[in-house]
Amino acid sequence: MVGIMHFTPIPLKNIFSLEDHKLLREIIDKEETDRSWQDKEKNRRVERYTKLDDYFSKILEPLAQEIFSDKTIKSTYSVYLDYNKPQSKLPPHKDNNACTYTINYCLSSKTPWGFIVEGEEYIFSEGEGLAFMGGYDSHWREDMPDPENNRVEIIMFHFCPSDHWYFTEGPKYVYELQKSGVLDTLEVDPYELSPKYLERKSQQESL
């Protein structure tokens, strides 16, 4: 389960101002979602909001570029996750969409819930976050503490290099990758399936 960590996660504080944190809360509580569904496997609520992508993801781009030392980074999408069931869980996995780089932001937590990346545990509370590379490094959570009374809300802000297939082929390219079955057995970040990335890699290997 534990492998070689590609990027040492960085705990983050004061990611957003108090005003922006309040605005995040208002969006989740009052705005209509663009898409909402129950993730039955993990017993969590998943929601998408255009306002998160249009504003919050964009203002995090400079921070992501600095943290991950990649000036080409651009935001892809964000996801609101509501772990609100006693059975809520997060098994070990690697992300397989347009999420090479991720900033996890804790919107709320009644009881802090440890987040593990390649065997190293990180705990962050409301208003705090963690930067990590979810497409390369396995991550998960152990059993939720105080599950009968707990609730943890997370917003995941995802980013990718500018030559990622999300930008060069379009967001729907992921469906082609899913149909091919390659994402089911992929051991690396799907970024490495990007046509421009493969072309650049081929050129470097031919030198």
Residue type, 205: E
Is it the case that residue 1 has pLDDT exceeding 60?
no
Break the chain into its structural domains and give their ranges: 10-206
Q: What is the mean pLDDT of residues 75-102?
A: 96
- What backbone torsions phi and psi does residue 26 show, to the nearest 5 degrees? -65, -40
- Please write the tens of the pLDDT for every residue from 113-133: 999 999 999 999 999 999 999
Within a 13 Å sphere around the CA of 97, how many CA atoms are in the beta-carbon half? 14
Q: Tens of pLDDT along 158-188?
A: 999 999 999 999 999 999 999 999 888 888 8
Average pLDDT over residues 35-40: 95
User: For residue 31, is pLDDT > 70?
Assistant: yes
What percent of the chain is predicted at pLDDT more than 90?
90
Q: What is the mean pLDDT of the chain?
A: 94
Q: How far apart, in whole angstroms, are the C-alpha atoms of residue 35 and residue 40?
A: 16
CA separation for the pair 204, 114 (Å, rounded): 40
pLDDT at 123: 96
What is the value of pTM for the model shown? 0.94
Architecture of the domain defined by 10-206: Sandwich (2.60)
Phi-psi region of 173 (alpha: psi -120 to 50; beta: other; left: phi over 0): alpha
Asked whether 153 and 106 are in contact (CB, 8 A), the reply is: yes
Rounded distance between C-alpha atoms, residue 86 and residue 141, angstroms:
14
Burial (Cβ within 10 Å: 0-12, 13-18, ≥19) of residue 133: buried
Q: What are phi and psi of 135, to 5 degrees?
A: -80, -20
DSSP 192: G
Residue 204: pLDDT band (50, 70, 90) is confident
